[in-house]
Structure 1
Amino acid sequence: MPGVLCRVVTVLVAAVALAGCGITDTDALPAGQPVQGGLTENSNQLLRVYFVTQEGVWPVSRPAPAGNRLQRAMDALLVGPTADERARGLITQLPSSIQPVRATTTRGRVELRLPWLVRDLRPVAVSQLVCTAAAADVGDDPVVEVIEPAMDQPWPVRCDETGSVVPAAQGASS
């Protein structure tokens, strides 16, 4: 009799496990219109500026005033996050500076002239600069040539898909 009882219990346990939790399958349900806004490939009215969260750099959208989009994006970065962005936990790791960051596009590359030495910046601050410059609508996966004060040789880098700075050869698309 114990063997029969054991088999019955085993069958019941298997039946309960196979029955699941009682949720039946449903068809797809309408969810409304897709979210709109933010940056799109054709958006000429917004800039992407990178600030810092606990997880790393995070892009925000800013209105794009008329003029040089690249320089406007760098200027917006140096102003720092708005009060609303700070309330959401966004900060900047860039030190203040009397001198601006100068950004130009040359031969499909971004030239980024810094008022600081890279070694004096936190890595996430360098990511803020490079990723903001790379996102300023200058082409796909641009090389950003970082030029430090009193340095003749630029440092060619890219912003990778994680928002980190990588050497230009490493970040190249294949």
Structure 2
Amino acid sequence: MTRPLTALLCCALALAAAGCGIRPTGVTDGGTAPSGISQGMRIYFASDNGPRGVPRPGVTIDELNDVFKLLIAGPTAEERADGLANLVHMEENFSATADHGNVTVNAPGYFTASPQDPATGQLVCTLARAEVLLHGTRPDKVQVTIVGEDGRAGPYQCQQFLRR
């Protein structure tokens, strides 16, 4: 019993002395650490990789319905050149209300039959961002339901539409 125990102890000491084989490097600067949710309003537009948020510095919103004006304005010329497009077409006035992170969109003329379409992603992510800013709801707790021409769809969360 002494011989196996001695052999095991020798192996453990040899491994500890050898290290893991990774050589030390100098200090690498990883940049500034993220500090939580980015500040300010972001509008989401369609891209080849799903909805992509673009900042709107200096833009403040007082209610969820302000989001629709920002979406109607569409992407800037630079954003369009970068491949972004607005696929949300508002035939009539859309309106939104929120209750503890549950956002309901009244969207006349909007068809909800295709729940994962890019326009729905734009709408959900933009309204979710606005809900976070207006009411301090955690982003992972915001749920958006769309009441459209053909019924009700959702609730959705923005992360359902974001590709990794």
The normalised TM-score by structure 1 is 0.61
User: Partners of 2:117 and 2:38 in 1: how far apart?
Assistant: 31
Matches of residues 95-134 of structure 1 in structure 2 within 5 Å? 95=89, 97-115=90-108, 116-119=110-113, 123-134=117-128
1:15 corresponds to: none
Matches of residues 70-81 of structure 1 in structure 2 within 5 Å? 70-81=64-75
1:87 corresponds to: 81
Q: Give the conservation status (yes or no) of the 8 Å contact 1:48–1:73.
A: no
User: Partners of 1:25 and 1:42 in 2: how far apart?
Assistant: 34
CA-to-aligned-CA distance 1:55-104 (integer Å, 9 cap, x gap): 11111111332521x22223212221111211211112223x34232111
Cα distance, 1:25 vs. partner? 6.0
User: Partners of 1:162 and 1:146 in 2: how far apart?
Assistant: 15
Counterpart check, 1:161 vs 2:159:
yes
The normalised TM-score by structure 2 is 0.64
1:169 corresponds to: none
Equivalent position SS for 1:118: coil
Equivalent position SS for 1:135: helix
When the two chains are superposed, the root-mean-square deviation of aligned CA atoms in Å is 3.1
Q: Give the conservation status (yes or no) of the 8 Å contact 2:97–2:103.
A: yes
User: Partners of 1:111 and 1:162 in 2: how far apart?
Assistant: 17
- Residue 66 to residue 83, structure 1, CA distance change in 2 (3 Å): same
Structure 2 counterpart of 1:41, which letter?
I
Q: Give the conservation status (yes or no) of the 8 Å contact 2:113–2:150.
A: no
Cα distance, 1:29 vs. partner? 4.1
Of all paired residues, the percent bearing the same amino acid is 25
User: Partners of 2:143 and 2:28 in 1: how far apart?
Assistant: 44
Q: Give the conservation status (yes or no) of the 8 Å contact 1:51–1:128.
A: yes
Matches of residues 12-91 of structure 1 in structure 2 within 5 Å? 26-30=25-29, 34=32, 40-41=36-37, 43=39, 46-63=40-57, 64-68=59-63, 70-91=64-85
- Residue 90 to residue 40, structure 1, CA distance change in 2 (3 Å): farther
User: Partners of 1:77 and 1:51 in 2: how far apart?
Assistant: 8
Cα distance, 1:120 vs. partner? 7.4
Q: How many residues align?
A: 132
Structure 1 counterpart of 2:60, which letter?
P
